[in-house]
Amino acid sequence: MKNYGLYGTRLLLSAFILLSGLQPSAQAVASEPTTLTLPSSIALALENNPAMKLALSSQEKAVWGVRQAKGYNGLSLGYNYTLARTDQAPSWYNNSTSKYPYSYDPTASDGIRNFPAWSDTPSNTYTAYKHELKLQLPLYTGGKIENTINLAKHGSAAATLGTTATRQQLTLEVTTSYLNVLQARNLTEVAQQGVDDLGAHLKNVENFYDAGTVSRSDVLQTQVRLANSRNNLIKAQNSYKLARYKLNTVIGLSLHNEAPLTDNFSSKPNSQTVDETVATALKNRPEMAQANLKISMAHDKVKIAGSGNLPTVALVGTETWTDTTPSSTKDRNSWLVGVNVQLNVFDNGVTKSEVKQTEHEVTEAQEQARQVADKISLEVCQAYLSVQEATERITNNQVAVHQSQTDYGLAQERYEAGVGTNLDVIDAELAMIQAKTNYIQALYDSNSSMAQLDKAMGVVK
């Protein structure tokens, strides 16, 4: 019985530990934000999004690349160890004994000379150990090391600009996703209002029908319109959920996080001309600066390839010692200090081919920079026109919303007074919902287009 009780206790304890591990910790739950603003959402994305982490990793990698390039311009110390066996005595081996491991020795008890201590087998072989230390300092490389360092520095600067570009793109993505959630939420509210309005109107129509003042056709028309409104509400609710899922994914929150979003957006006028925005973009965009750096990097490659036609000079110092045993006893020691000069006299056109290839890389980089400039200019123009369009739509739809609300109220009054038709009420309600939908879309299109314009001009922090 005691064994069964102990087994049951262990089983319950194991189940408790397992269930505790499956439950989310209080710390994990507490880490989810209770409210979300646009700045806090951007901060979460910059901290959690994989794209930002990849960019930062590439930037750090480029920094180490610069350190590696600089390392070639300093002292280097190498150690070389060689273990060899041969059937010929090494030239440095100094011993008066015969090359044969055994010979006659009258002083020996058996008349045979003992095998040398440095050999462990009775065979005609020799064992040699060689140690070498080499110290080298480059004095002149034809500009290869210097331009390699410049290439690495330009690459590091380009990686830093890549991080900036990723930050700006991620900021735009978060802003757009955030606005899409707010827009979907407001459109859901408008769709819900349409359902509520038609539901209330349907009750009035049914009351009039029961009183015999309207026909069955009015009831059926209203029921069909209400069903269509509910269909629109279902779509709007689904769009809201999808927009929220995307925002949570971008900023690194759990998929079903429902922290409320603040809504402090309004239309922002743009006072710059399109030419001014393009000029600002070409000056500030990190992609443009990256393209110019790639041209500099291509020139660095040309200089590196051309260094093959120039001599290299290095200060060299070596110390070598050889042993007959793996001990530290030095049977022979030598050292050398001098200058090493190397010149590529003939390489069958290899260096020339490398130079020509890199010269074409310069041309490619220059043309790619022109492509980037054209792409940025077009991107700015598109965003600029979208802002202008959305601003005009906002003004137009504000008037339409007010007029449609007034018309809907009048249609209801006429219908209740018996001088209007049910179709007039349904059409007025449909026009009002459409006007409100257009206004909401124009408002958030304006903010979204303004965010795209800021990113296109490179003014996003």
Q: Any idea where the domains of the chain sit in the sequence?
A: 32-77+141-310+346-457, 88-124
Give the model's pLDDT for residue 127: 79
Report the candidate in 304, 178, 269 with the shortest Cα–Cα distance to residue 453: 269
Residue keyed to tokens 């043309």: 367
CA distance 301 to 72: 17
Instruction: Check residue 13 and give its pLDDT.
Output: 45
Tokens encoding 97:
């004994």
Average pLDDT over residues 296-317: 95
CA-CA distance, 103 to 97, in Å (whole number)?
Answer: 9
In the structure, what pLDDT confidence band is assigned to residue 30 with cuts at 50, 70 and 90?
Answer: very low
The percent of residues above 90 in pLDDT, for the chain, comes to: 73
pLDDT band (50, 70, 90) for residue 79: very high
Give mean pLDDT, residues 412-432: 93
Strands 126-140 and 76-86: antiparallel
Give the residue-averaged pLDDT of 38-61: 95
For residues 9, 14, 20 and 23, what is the CA-based torsion angle, rounded to 10 degrees? -130
Cα(166)–Cα(175) distance, integer angstroms: 14
What's the CA dihedral at 431, 433, 436, 440 to 10 degrees?
-130
pLDDT in tens, 175-189: 999 999 999 999 999
Given a cut of 70, is residue 42 above it in pLDDT? yes
Task: Flag the least confident range among 210-214, 364-368, 439-443.
Answer: 210-214
Among the ranges given (109-113, 281-285, 331-335, 452-456), the one the predictor scored with the smallest mean pLDDT: 109-113
Q: Describe the strand order of the beta sheet including 332-342 as a list of residue ranges.
A: 76-86, 126-140, 312-323, 332-342
- The domain made up of 32-77+141-310+346-457 has a fold known as Outer membrane efflux proteins (OEP) (1.20.1600)
Is it the case that residue 304 has pLDDT exceeding 90? yes
More confident residue, 256 or 86: 256
Q: What local confidence, expressed as pLDDT, does residue 128 receive?
A: 80
pLDDT value of residue 7: 45
pLDDT of residue 156: 97
Pick the residue with more confidence: 128 or 402? 402
Q: What is the pLDDT of residue 326?
A: 53
| pTM metric for this prediction | 0.79
User: What CA–CA distance (Å, rounded) separates 297 from 291?
Assistant: 10
- The whole-number pLDDT of residue 334 equals 86
Per-residue pLDDT, 331: 56
Average pLDDT of the chain to the nearest whole number: 86
Looking at 14-18, 127-131, 233-237, which range is the least confident one? 14-18
Task: Lowest mean pLDDT of 83-92, 113-122, 271-280, 363-372, name the range.
Answer: 113-122
Of 175-189, 327-341, 407-421, where does mean pLDDT reach its minimum? 327-341
Q: What are phi and psi of 419, to 5 degrees?
A: -110, -5
Which of the four pLDDT bands, split at 50, 70 and 90, describes residue 272? confident
pLDDT in tens, 91-144: 655 544 444 444 444 454 444 444 444 444 445 677 788 889 999 999 999 999
Sole residue written with tokens 């319109």: 225
Task: Please give the C-alpha separations between residue 151 and each of 67, 70, 157, 255, 333, in angstroms, as whole numbers.
Answer: 12, 11, 10, 43, 42
